[in-house]
Chains A and B, each alone.
Chain A
Amino acid sequence: MLSIYKKEVRSFLGSLIAYIVMGVFLILTGLFLWFVDGNSIFDLGVASLQVMFDISPYILIFLVSAITMKSISDEKRLGTLEIITTKPITDLQIILEKYFAALTLVAFTLLLTSFYAYAVYNLALPVGNIDLGSMLGSYLGLFLLAACYASIGLFASSLTDNQIVALILSMLLSFFFFAVLGMLGDLEILDKIGRSLNWFSLEFHYNSMSRGVVDTRDLVFFLGFISVFLGGTKLVFESRKWS
């Protein structure tokens, strides 16, 4: 049980990727929060992590894709997929264990920013005077968003045996579903269709969650989104069985 999960987590920690992802995420969000002129907490004068939550979706497109890029593509390249798929374990279980391994790393990376949250909490006047509901909602939204990116990344990784192709494909798809779909939805000529397109963008539901209201419709959307891409991954996995 959980052999693949453990192996994946160990391989993240054994390779540089995990540390680079964590470091880059902390540094970039830290820069925007505290140092970048005009946007930093000191310039805005508001004790909130909003700047971080605004910028993180874009940073995570790259970082989550980097986490998942080799997950399946590397097994294809090495031929080890034939080893693990002929062990007494179902294809779905392989995919889920790989997915949750990636998710573990993502969750840990996000948790590291709790230092910033603690700092903001203490900077507020009086101490602790922050919109906690909004912050927790934003964190949950960010995690679910990253979980969607991870499902896209795993899907992209299953399509190719080349990590770089998987990385680029995953970034393109993630960017499309986060931002481009919403931009298309805002086009005036699309009118009503536009509004429904908007509803399918990840950004729409992410923003909705960051208001601090956890709406079951948003949760269902995120979970459905993840299921679709994991299901797609399973389909690609099984394509070897078609002839």
Chain B
Amino acid sequence: MSIKVDQLTKIYGKQVAVDAISFDIPTGQIVGFLGPNGAGKSTTMKMITGYIPPSSGTGTVCGIDLVEDSIEVRKLVGYLPENNPLYLEMYVKEYLEFIAGLSGVSKIKPAVEKAIEMTKLTPERHKKVGQLSKGYRQRVGLAQALIHEPKVLILDEPTSGLDPIQVVEIRQVIKDLGKDKTVLLSTHIMQEVEAMCDRVIMISKGKLVADDLVTTLTKDGKSLEDTFRSLANSENHVEHI
């Protein structure tokens, strides 16, 4: 299992942001992480990437514990945080070289070249990040996440705020990446899940409400959107594979 979480919980004061979520994701799957705003998607991702520790519950990435060996986990995970934060005054190449060094890449130059190629950033590589369009900035965010060739990619709303053409391009990039990596990506857009993902994990108010293959969820003629709406409103209704 690439990512495995068991009873993962995050409590802020009295508010339960993530409520005892469990799931396993095998290697090579692209998983769509769905849920209304404030459902706990970002919080779950922050726990898997080691930004914040869980209040209770455990998790592993490629068999390594999230809390005990956080630094080791981070070597295996590439993370694109929500809103794609970037240093606007840095040059694209300079930024990627910085991140490569920080991620412990030994041969920095070829790694940067490869990441630039994979995300099709070549025409913009000599510009400052602040000069790029939103679509290209998103690619820089992706390149940053995959520069150390992680086994697992965690992408928090990778296509938010992009125009339809950029969305299609970024989806293609992610799909290509998914061929040899495990990808967990959050989104609000149902078509996106149908276009990219093998499997859907849906949470609502911090609780897991669905975990199934896309093909199963859409097989009896229902659209994914209807399923999402009915599940987001019901509570604690878990469909297993």
Contacts and interface: CB of A to CB of B under 8 A. Distances in A.
Q: Are A and B a genuine interacting pair, yes or no?
A: yes
Contact of A89 (B11, B94, B102): B102
A7 interface: yes
Interface in B74-97: 74-75, 77, 79, 81, 83, 85-89, 94
Contacts of A88: 71-72, 74-75, 102-104
A241 B83 CA distance: 21
B89 A87 contact: no
B201 to A, nearest CB: 21
B135 interface: no
A3 B101 CA distance: 6
Contacts of B119: none
Contacts of B98: 3, 6-7
Interface string B1-31: 0000000001111000000000000000000
B187 interface: no
A127 interface: no
B156 to A, nearest CB: 10
Contact of A87 (B46, B88, B99): B99
A85 B55 CA distance: 19
Contacts of A4: 102
Interface string A2-39: 11101100110011000000000000000000000000
Contacts of A6: 98, 101
Contacts of A15: 89
B44 interface: no
A243 B87 contact: no
A84 interface: yes
A3 B86 contact: no
Contacts of A216: none
B204 interface: no
A77 to B, nearest CB: 9
A230 B53 CA distance: 22
B52 A86 contact: no
Contacts, number: 66
A21 to B, nearest CB: 18
Contacts of B99: 83, 87
A79 B85 contact: yes
B71 A82 contact: no
Interface residues of A, number: 25
Nearest to A7: B98
B49 interface: yes
B49 A86 contact: yes
A80 B86 contact: yes
Nearest to A82: B81
Interface string A181-224: 00000000000000000000000000000000000000000000
A78 interface: yes
Contacts of A85: 50-51
B81 A11 contact: no
Interface string B49-69: 111110100000000000000
Nearest to A89: B102
B82 to A, nearest CB: 8
A83 B81 contact: yes
Contacts of B103: 87-88
A87 B85 contact: no
Contacts of A87: 74, 99, 102-103
Contacts of B86: 78, 80
Contact of B102 (A11, A84, A240, A241): A84
Interface of B: 10-13, 46, 49-53, 55, 71-72, 74-75, 77, 79, 81, 83, 85-89, 94, 98-99, 101-104, 144
26 contacts: A2-B101, A3-B98, A3-B102, A7-B98, A78-B88, A79-B83, A80-B86, A80-B87, A82-B46, A82-B51, A82-B81, A83-B99, A86-B51, A86-B79, A87-B102, A87-B103, A88-B71, A88-B72, A88-B74, A88-B75, A88-B104, A89-B102, A90-B71, A243-B13, A243-B52, A243-B55
Given A86-B77, A243-B55, 18 more contacts: A2-B101, A3-B98, A78-B85, A78-B86, A79-B81, A79-B83, A80-B87, A82-B81, A85-B51, A86-B74, A87-B102, A87-B103, A88-B75, A88-B104, A89-B71, A241-B52, A243-B13, A243-B52
The 6 closest A-B pairs by CB, nearest first: A79-B85, A3-B101, A3-B102, A88-B74, A86-B49, A87-B102
Interface of A: 1-4, 6-7, 10-11, 14-15, 78-80, 82-90, 240-241, 243
